[in-house]
Amino acid sequence: MGAPSSIEALIEAFKRLPGVGERSASRMAYHLMERDREGAQLLSQALIRAYDSVQHCVKCHSLSEELICSTCQDTSRDSTRLCVVETPADQSAVEKTAAYKGYYFVLMGTLSPLDGIGPKEMGIQSLLDRACDGVVKEVILANNFTAEGEATAFVLTEALKKRGLTVTRLARGVPVGSELEYVDIGTIAHAMVDRRNA
């Protein structure tokens, strides 16, 4: 009686997206089926392509289509600097500021002991291996200024300093409690310039 089951299934699939509830999901599904069939095809193809081709760069753990991502392959960058971010979206935000020309390491999350994500699960060892390659001198922690981000930064600072590296943290100026991905680029740029010793 209601909507065809394949439309119901499409609505359910849209509801898995962040910020999409019943109403938006149903609007999206009907929009594609009534008015933008080409868009439905494009989206399904883009999903399949991204699903099949995107993996983690073995060097920085960011999302990449190759074994080593284009950023890590870029030899024009300053190899003495390594910027640690939580997600590829955060990396993309820092990159857009054009205030940083070193390499990155993407943690893919934060420490979250309550969820069972300790230093081991987060793969801090691979960050340490990357940072102690003998070339990197400064590690810039661009963790989010959330409780989990701060805790993660604290743990990383201890571990990295012990290995003789200079550890810096993005300047406060990024509003406390917010996530990098949603901060305006100018603020991130200032925070990059004003980075301080941790």
By CB under 8 A, name the binding residues for its own copies: 1-7, 9-10, 12-14, 16-20, 23-24, 26-34, 36-37, 39-51, 53-54, 63-65, 69-71, 74, 87-89, 92, 95, 108, 181-182
CA dist., res. 127 & res. 160, Å (int): 9
Cβ at position 142, least distance to its own copies in Å: 16
* Residue (63 or 142) nearer to its own copies, CB: 63
Cβ at position 105, least distance to its own copies in Å: 15
Cβ at position 65, least distance to its own copies in Å: 4
* Residue (71 or 166) nearer to its own copies, CB: 71
CA dist., res. 110 & res. 191, Å (int): 20
* Residue (106 or 131) nearer to its own copies, CB: 106
CA dist., res. 61 & res. 91, Å (int): 11
Give Cα 114 distance to the centre of its chain: 21
* Residue (43 or 193) nearer to its own copies, CB: 43
* Residue (101 or 196) nearer to its own copies, CB: 101
Cβ at position 143, least distance to its own copies in Å: 16
Cβ at position 133, least distance to its own copies in Å: 21
